[in-house]
């Protein structure tokens, strides 16, 4: 059996992709609620933004986890995460603490995606 050697940057890339899975599942299982959240953030029509986001998240997940065009996959991830950052700030205001629903997590995740694809 051949050995698979993963270096830390590979693990970061894979984790950046895997972390999209609960978000994908949540959006799909709670489509109407997610649509309302998108519209509350000013992203209208919400259903269109949900579909586009799900497609981009799927591309990001597959590309980052399986190392298929990782730079393109990271670009898809960053687009989604910058959109999430915008939505968080639009809905909750500019707070830099997770306890106040701040944007630090999607910003960190976007930067990790960029680093993992370089």
Burial of 96 (0-12, 13-18, 19+ CB in 10 A): exposed
Percent of the chain clearing pLDDT 70 (strictly above): 94
Residue ranges per domain, the chain?
8-117
DSSP codes joined into one string, 52-89: HHHHHHHHHHHHHHHTSSHHHHHHHHHHHHHHHHHHHH
Question: 11-61, pLDDT tens digit by residue?
Answer: 999 999 999 999 999 999 999 999 999 999 999 999 999 999 999 999 999
- Distance, CA of 117 to CA of 52 (rounded, Å): 22
Give the predicted TM-score (pTM) of the model: 0.89
Q: What is the pLDDT of residue 1?
A: 57
């Amino acid at each position: 059996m051949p050995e698979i050697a993963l270096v830390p940057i590979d693990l970061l890339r894979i984790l950046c992709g895997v972390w999209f899975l609960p978000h994908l599942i949540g959006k799909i299982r709670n489509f109407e609620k997610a649509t309302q959240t998108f519209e509350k953030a000013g992203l209208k029509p919400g259903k269109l933004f949900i579909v586009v986001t799900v497609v981009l998240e799927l591309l990001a997940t597959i590309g980052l986890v399986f190392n298929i065009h990782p730079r393109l996959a990271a670009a898809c991830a960053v687009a989604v995460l910058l959109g999430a950052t915008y939505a968080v700030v639009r809905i909750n205001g500019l707070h830099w603490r997770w306890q106040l629903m701040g944007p630090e997590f999607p910003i960190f995740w976007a930067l990790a995606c960029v680093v993992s694809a370089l």
